[in-house]
Amino acid sequence: MNGARALLSTFVDSGVDVCFANPGTSEMHFVAALDQVPAMRGILCLFEGVVTGAADGYGRVAGRPAATLLHLGPGLGNGLANLHNARRAHTPIVNVVGDHATYHARYDAPLQSDIASIASAVSGWYRSTARADDVAGDGADAVAAAMGPPGRVATLVLPADASWSESSTGPCPPRPPGRAAVVPADTVEEVAKAMRSGEKAALLVGGRAMRADALQAASRVAVSTGAALLGETFPANLERGAGIPAVERLAYFAEMAQGQLDGVRHLVLVDTASPVSFFAYPDKASDLVPSGCTVDTLARSGDDVVGALEALAEALGAPVDAAAPAPPARPDRPAGALTTESLAAAIGGVLPEGAIVVDEGNTSGLFVSGATAGAPRHDWLTLTGGAIGIGLPMATGAAVAAPDRPVLALQADGSAMYTLQALWTQAREGLDVTTVVLSNRSYAILNIELHRVGADAEGPMARRLLDLTDPELDFCALACGMGVPAHRADSAEDLAAALETGFSESGPSLIEVQL
Ligand SMILES: Cc1ncc(C[n+]2csc(CCOP(=O)(O)OP(=O)(O)O)c2C)c(N)n1
Ligand SMILES: [Mg+2]
């Protein structure tokens, strides 16, 4: 067997059995080996930003990595923005980046590129395999590194000759998984002491602490001590809905987040960073911790977060049943014109149990979170690293990871256009994704930011750079052109009905909402 086949078998044995791919000549032996290792599902994506965003969505939902297949430095570079988001989300991903044969590098052929530099921006683990005999072991190391904890992007460079040469070792057995570190009792006691002080305290949770079991323990603590329960602004995968304790996410705009934190004297971080403003603004604070507030870290990413929160609840004598689950609630079914409020109510009225919501709704999606707070339990995936163009790819990967669950992509129009090709992969793979395009024909947030940063009054050229008319995008035509049936909703009741159809029928669909 050659190196490529040994690598694919190693991946499958290690639990990595999906590969989002956009291949080139240096990856041809890897592509050929897919038919010899049928347990590996190769999924073609038509741009590398779709490959990496899909791998992020897959990893966030499956809890184990997908592989990517990328073509030298340019292919990896095309996928970089969504790998940046994945790095922020601590998503496990194994990148396989094909490279020229080792002996070919010195000729500096056109695609010869500085893969290491490009990879270094996003990779928590990096290795370039030198020989076919090393490929399988390196592959097993890459999967273990990606799994963490915490999860990370592991990048394995695969030269063409390592891929096509005979592997004398064959596949490598999986490496033992890493274990989450137990938070020391002293740390738990220090946090408990701060929370017993009687001064206003807040728990700020993120990462793994935004899953139901962790929120249950965090809510126990909050309810029994009177502390606020806050969540990071952009979680990787928040579990929410009826029966799960609700967490109030910090606002995107710094002054609103400061309002939420106002008066807090003890801030306790659980798998998240101390709060900072998303951007710098002239004359505004970057650090959002109120003055005089102490910051304690209960658990970091990679720690046993649930164990730490439960230990804290015990240390504080919080009753086991103290947690406050969100009550079931659905908004009234809206009628009439589509607005940001009525579209949110339409979604809140029909969101099915077990749904995965991929939220790149940006300004027009603002009210959907509130309108779905009491919907049946569901997952909520957000833009962790601020690099737009992840929604459609992430929904694609989430649907591959969870074929039995409905996926709702809340998709702002400007961001949709970065990686629209994801729709083609959804159609080809028959994925159950219902996409709602929020077509406000604008980079609306940037119109807001233009004023917030204090840029001088905008002229026609500045406005033209933030506006998506002339010509207007026709998302229904674009979707149909990639094999995804589409519908333009013309009222709130029409949207609700189209959503119900989308959720009940198999395969992808797209609904355009004009605002
Ligand atoms: C990779 C990347 N490029 C550019 C930006 C800058 N940016 C932030 S928001 C935005 C426009 C968003 O427009 P849209 O998705 O339509 O959402 P809206 O603001 O209209 O709600 C841009 C270009 C970014 N965040 N990431
Ligand atoms: Mg827009």
23-50 tens-digit pLDDT: 999 999 999 999 999 999 999 999 999 9
Determine the atom of ligand 1 nearest the C-alpha atom of 365. 21
| Residue carrying structure tokens 């309810």 | 223
Determine the atom of ligand 1 nearest the C-alpha atom of 442. 20
Mean pLDDT of 299-327: 98
pTM above 0.85, yes or no: yes
Could you tell me which residues come within 8 angstroms of residue 426 by beta carbon, excluding any fewer than 6 positions away?
Answer: 392, 395, 396, 399, 433, 484, 508
Determine the atom of ligand 1 nearest the C-alpha atom of 415. 15
DSSP-based three-state secondary structure for 159: strand
Q: Side by side, which strands form the sheet with 378-382?
A: 238-240, 378-382, 356-360, 407-412, 433-439, 509-514, 486-489
Mean pLDDT of 483-498: 98
CB atoms within 10 A of CB 156: 25
Query: C-alpha distances in angstroms, 430 versus 338, 378, 380?
Result: 29, 22, 22
Ligand nearest to the CA of 415: 1
Measured between alpha carbons, how far is 466 from 457 in angstroms, rounded to an integer? Answer: 14
Q: Which residues line ligand 1 (CB under 6 A)?
A: 81, 362-364, 386-389, 412-415, 440, 442-446
418 CA to centre of ligand 2 in angstroms: 12
386 CA to centre of ligand 1 in angstroms: 9
Element (H, E) at 407: strand 407-412
| Helix, strand, coil % in the chain, rounded to nearest 5 | 40, 20, 40
442 forms bridges with which residues in the sheet?
Answer: 467
Q: What percentage of the chain has pLDDT greater than the value 70? A: 100
Mean pLDDT of 456-478: 92
Could you tell me which residues come within 8 angstroms of residue 253 by beta carbon, excluding any fewer than 6 positions away?
Answer: 452
Element (H, E) at 379: strand 378-382
CA 434 distance to own-chain centroid: 17
The band of 328, judged by pLDDT with boundaries at 50, 70 and 90, is very high
The band of 499, judged by pLDDT with boundaries at 50, 70 and 90, is very high
> Residue 454 pLDDT more than 90?
no
Measured between alpha carbons, how far is 472 from 369 in angstroms, rounded to an integer? Answer: 28
pLDDT value, residue 456: 75
410 CA to centre of ligand 2 in angstroms: 12
Measured between alpha carbons, how far is 19 from 95 in angstroms, rounded to an integer? Answer: 9
82 CA to centre of ligand 2 in angstroms: 19
pLDDT value, residue 32: 98
Residue among 358, 443, 473 to mutate when testing ligand 1 (max atoms within 8 A of CB)? 443
Measured between alpha carbons, how far is 415 from 419 in angstroms, rounded to an integer? Answer: 8
Give which of 20, 32, 157 is closest to 98, Cα–Cα. 157
Per-residue pLDDT tens over the stretch 144-162: 999 999 999 999 999 999 9
